[in-house]
């Protein structure tokens, strides 16, 4: 639900959820996955979902700081030789996650570690990455809700 604040000269738009809470579109440092042991555990024990050109590797876990989800993004050096190309892809992945983050945070219980891995061979447009990210996060929610029921 969109609400406009017309009290001041500057118009501010804030998003609120149907439950009345505000969405947080930020991606602070505490939500970034940096722990090497957690990274290794994700690659060895993690479950995965694919929605071309993105692969999501996730694992239920606990964190010392009070964070529901920690995220890392990966662009393979094998396919993208220059750092500029890899950084562009990682920036697109982070931005797509940041904009779709409320979808996850409002519908999930528990703590998870995520790695978003780019699978494509060419640098994508933001619209491609954003559409794939939405589908991937919806598939994750669907899969996890079914596992909670079973």
pLDDT at 70 (0 to 100) = 94
pLDDT at 146 (0 to 100) = 81
Q: Which domain holds residue 120?
A: 27-149
More confident of the two residues 136 and 21: 136
Q: In CATH, what number is assigned to the domain containing residue 44?
A: 3.30.230.10
Q: Is residue 8 included in any domain, yes or no?
A: no
Q: Is residue 106 included in any domain, yes or no?
A: yes
Q: Is residue 12 included in any domain, yes or no?
A: no
Dump the DSSP string for the chain. -EEEE-SSSS-EEEEB-TTSPBP-----GGGB---HHHHHHHHHH-EEEEETTEEEEEEE---SSS-SEEEEEE--TTT--SHHHHHHHHHHHHHHHHHHHHHHHTT--S-EEEEEEE--SSPPPHHHHHHHHHHHHHHHHHHHHHHHH-
pLDDT at 41 (0 to 100) = 94
Quote the number of domains for the chain: 1
pLDDT at 106 (0 to 100) = 87
Q: Is residue 19 included in any domain, yes or no?
A: no
pTM metric for this prediction: 0.81
pLDDT, one tens digit per residue, over 55-111 is 999 999 988 888 889 999 999 999 999 999 999 999 999 999 999 999 998 888 889
More confident of the two residues 147 and 69: 69
pLDDT at 17 (0 to 100) = 41
pLDDT at 22 (0 to 100) = 61
Q: Is residue 84 included in any domain, yes or no?
A: yes
Q: Average pLDDT, whole number, for the chain?
A: 85
Q: Is residue 47 included in any domain, yes or no?
A: yes
More confident of the two residues 54 and 146: 54
């Amino acid at each position: 639900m969109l609400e406009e604040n017309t009290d001041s000269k500057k118009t501010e738009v804030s998003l609120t959820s149907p439950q009345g809470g505000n969405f947080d579109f930020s991606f602070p440092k505490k939500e970034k996955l940096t722990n090497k042991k957690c990274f290794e555990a994700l690659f060895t024990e993690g479950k995965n979902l694919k929605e071309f050109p993105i692969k999501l590797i996730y694992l239920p876990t606990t964190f010392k700081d009070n964070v529901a989800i920690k995220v890392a993004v990966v662009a393979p050096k094998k396919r993208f030789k220059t750092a500029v190309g890899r950084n562009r892809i990682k920036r697109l992945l982070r931005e797509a996650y940041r904009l779709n983050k409320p979808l996850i945070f409002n519908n999930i219980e528990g703590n998870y570690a995520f790695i978003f891995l780019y699978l494509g061979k060419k640098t994508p447009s933001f619209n491609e990455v954003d559409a794939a990210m939405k589908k991937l996060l919806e598939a994750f929610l669907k899969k996890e809700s079914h596992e909670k029921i079973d």
